[in-house]
Amino acid sequence: MSRRLQGQDWLTAPATRAVMAALTAAGGADCARFVGGCVRNALIGAPIDDIDIATTLTPDAVVVALRAAGLRSVPTGIEHGTVTAISEHQPFEITTLRRDVSTDGRRATVAFTTDWAEDARRRDFRLNALYADANGVILDPTEQGYDDAMAGRIVFVGQPEGRICEDYLRILRFYRFYAWYGRGAPDAAAVAACAALAEGVEQLSAERVSKELLKLLAAPDPRPAVRLMDQASVLERVLRQPVELALFEAMTELSGDAVLRLSALLPDDPAVAEVARALRLSNAQRHRLAEAVAGQATTTLTDSQARAVIYSDGRQAFEDRVMRAWAAGGDPEAAQRLLALAKDWTPPTMPVGGRDLVRLGLKPGPETGRVLKAFEAGWIADDFPDHGHDDRLRALLPPA
């Protein structure tokens, strides 16, 4: 009995129908199927972010078919067989069926094929090797992908050692998919293979590693997967140092923020900047991680002390430091009070400037910066008063 996707709005949406109609008009009813995440997530009731399509058409034929249907195409990865169709402003990634010709653990040389089973054999996990036609009828070439998806099993297609050696990123993908979709005990063969081949992750580009790691850490509860990574020595290879999990375990209970969870895996000292740089994180992420450990923010701060930190270092840095202090055992009520303060308080703008000093008789020059800096320090220490500014400035002016 055939299985079919049910109640999927994306499947019958006009934008989706237009893309599938364009492909089938060029190659026949069996030339295109939905594949991977959209099929898997539809089965298990998880959100669907992207709609990927596999096809027997070559990339050039896909472009021609889309153009004939009045749809725009973008050659996002045409050398690897991928063209992105734009239908009603929505992207659809279309990839020609492939087989691996050669692999080196980081990248593969592929050849196009028209064999659905051959395409399935080069995919990572059985639950990702699921296809569905335009009507939602499911094709399961491994004959176990559907059962894996429904049971929460993350099992490699074929022998895990062989699949990992084709691309060592599959080690991190195993942990990521286990974090998001796994239920129960992990697949023993996969766990053993990831541990045995852990050294391979050191060959991967930092960008691929950090992207996969942040996706993993964004899972509702990544702790079981991270523990597996730690036990297999994968985590210390990724972060390039031994890792203690206690702070991370506590932080996961408090926040779903992937960057904040990552900060809880990193050293509580300036070395965090080196790790962030090695992972090739974005400038914003690197700055955030460095700021999270750069200054002290405990749950014992008074409101005025908290406002001083927020003004000087920014709301994000303050909130991250409070969260780290809370996860490290700080008082929960105090932490929540400080976080509420940070949310509700808007740091004021410095109320005086160089013109005010000129008005009070100080000629522009080096003294201007000194006086303003001293004024700001006192203004912060007194909890940002909104009055008496001229008197404060006069007290700081040099003798006439």
15-67 pLDDT tens trace: 999 999 999 999 999 999 999 999 999 999 999 999 999 999 999 999 999 99
Asked whether 258 and 218 are in contact (CB, 8 A), the reply is yes
The whole-angstrom separation of Cα 127 and Cα 115 is: 18
| Residue 105 confidence (pLDDT) above 60 | no
Task: Determine the pLDDT at residue 360.
Answer: 93
Task: Determine the pLDDT at residue 274.
Answer: 82
Task: Determine the pLDDT at residue 275.
Answer: 86
Degrees to nearest 5, angle at CA 342 with 336 and 348: 160
Task: Determine the pLDDT at residue 286.
Answer: 92
DSSP-derived pairing of the beta strands 82-87 and 72-77 = antiparallel
SS3 state of residue 77: strand
Ranking 75-89, 244-258, 263-277, 318-332 by mean pLDDT, the lowest is: 263-277
Asked whether 306 and 318 are in contact (CB, 8 A), the reply is yes
| Residue 324 confidence (pLDDT) above 90 | yes
Q: How close are the terminal C-alpha atoms of the chain, in Å?
A: 97
| Residue 102 confidence (pLDDT) above 70 | no
DSSP-H helix ranges across 182-314? 188-196, 206-217, 223-231, 234-239, 246-254, 258-263, 271-278, 283-294, 303-313
Q: Which DSSP letter does residue 364 get? A: S
126-173 pLDDT per residue, tens: 999 999 999 999 999 999 999 999 999 999 999 999 999 999 999 999
| Residue 261 confidence (pLDDT) above 60 | yes
Residue 146: CA atoms inside 13 Å, Cβ hemisphere, count? Answer: 12
Mean pLDDT of the chain: 94
**Residues contacting residue 363 through CB under 8 Å, at least 6 positions apart:** none
What's the alpha-carbon Rg for the chain, to the nearest Å? 28
The whole-angstrom separation of Cα 24 and Cα 35 is: 16
| Residue 270 confidence (pLDDT) above 80 | no
| Residue 400 confidence (pLDDT) above 80 | no
Task: Determine the pLDDT at residue 104.
Answer: 60
Task: Give the strands of the sheet with 131-132, arranged side by side.
Answer: 72-77, 82-87, 90-96, 52-55, 32-35, 131-132, 138-139
pTM: 0.90
| Residue 259 confidence (pLDDT) above 90 | yes
Query: Percentage of residues in the chain with pLDDT exceeding 70?
Result: 96
Domains and CATH numbers, the chain: 1-151 (3.30.460.10), 295-344 (no CATH), 354-396 (no CATH)
| Residue 107 confidence (pLDDT) above 70 | no
User: With the C-alpha atoms ordered 167, 169, 175, 176, is the resulting torsion angle positive or negative?
Assistant: negative
Predicted confidence band at 103 (pLDDT cuts at 50, 70, 90)?
Answer: low
DSSP-derived pairing of the beta strands 98-103 and 72-77 = unpaired
Tell me what the mean pLDDT of segment 107-127 comes to: 89
Q: Which residue has the tokens 């050191």?
A: 202
Task: Determine the pLDDT at residue 110.
Answer: 78
**Residues contacting residue 134 through CB under 8 Å, at least 6 positions apart:** 11, 17, 20, 24, 29, 32, 33
Task: Determine the pLDDT at residue 30.
Answer: 93
Tell me what the mean pLDDT of segment 358-383 comes to: 95
Task: Determine the pLDDT at residue 297.
Answer: 66
Task: Determine the pLDDT at residue 8.
Answer: 95
Q: How many other CB atoms are there within 10 angstroms of residue 323's CB atom?
A: 25
